[in-house]
A = this chain, B = another copy of it.
Amino acid sequence: MKDLFSNIQIKVNENIYLKNPESSDLGKKIIFGSIEMIDDIGFEAFTFRKLACSISSTEASIYRYFESKHKLLLYLTAWYWAWMEYKLVFSLINIISPEERLKRAVTIVTEPIEEDSNFLHINEVKLNHIVISESSKAYLTKEVDSENKEGFFSGYESMVMRISKVIQEINPDYPNANMLVSTVIEGAHHQYYFTEHLPKLTTISEDRNCITNFYIDLVFKVIQK
């Protein structure tokens, strides 16, 4: 995924932001700086005041782009899932074997992330860290139903549905594809977090791909007829 496109843009639901951060230098600095800072000090300690200070701007200027830090988190996760979907689509192009397609799909959502040089103002490795540690706070709220209605989580949903379809290419009778896919995605995120912070809750291995291998094995065993 190196220098494939110089003019591609990841599209995010327009109702998440007040002004598109991709549309100005300040906007890109807000995204870049917030990823650095949230990854560094965590979402609770992160404030617009601190962010403004770190990018040499002001609190009010940031509020021109996002109406709250919650919306900024929604933006980051929405961007992440849109980016993942674009990676998935390209990884499956021209691959005919359904088994190979499923293997690639599971790999995309469970393997360690590498940087994508097409988006210079976004550090995908740190963003992946944030998605693992903070993104569940974006939907574990009392506003989830109304925000879901506005389509703020549709990137995640469409990712799940795409992979479910690949499962159905192999076994059209398997009834719980969606449940299986979201179990795998959330599960992989948890395993990475547990490996670093709560090792007794996972299996520790030297193998860099051990989490991906675990979920590939799991998925193929579970959907077999």
Which A residues have a C-beta under 8 Å from some C-beta of B?
41-42, 44-45, 133-134, 136-137, 139-142, 144-145, 148, 153, 156-157, 160-161, 175-180, 182-183, 186-187, 190-191, 193-194, 197-198, 200-203, 211, 214, 217-218, 221-222, 224
Contact = CB atoms under 8 A, between A and B. Distances in A.
Of the listed residues A136, A193, A203, A224, the one surrounded by the most CB atoms of chain B closer than 10 A to its CB is A203
A134 B144 contact: no
Contacts of A182: 187, 190-191, 194, 201-202
Stoichiometry (number of copies)? 2
A176 to B, nearest CB: 5
Given A140-B133, A140-B134, A178 B200 contact: yes
Given A178-B202, A198-B148, A183 B193 contact: no
A137 B134 CA distance: 9
Contacts of A148: 197-198
Of the listed residues A134, A153, A182, the one surrounded by the most CB atoms of chain B closer than 10 A to its CB is A182
A190 B217 CA distance: 21
Given A176-B214, A222-B221, A144 B186 contact: no
Contacts of A193: 140
Nearest to A224: B221
Given A198-B153, A201-B156, A141 B218 contact: no
A137 B137 CA distance: 7
Contacts of A201: 156-157, 160, 178, 182
Nearest to A188: B183
Nearest to A193: B140
Contact of A141 (B44, B153, B186, B214): B44
Contacts of A153: 198
A99 to B, nearest CB: 17
A141 B42 contact: yes
24 contacts: A41-B142, A42-B142, A44-B141, A133-B140, A134-B140, A137-B140, A140-B193, A148-B197, A157-B201, A161-B200, A175-B203, A176-B203, A179-B202, A179-B211, A179-B214, A180-B214, A182-B194, A182-B201, A182-B202, A183-B190, A183-B191, A186-B187, A186-B190, A221-B222
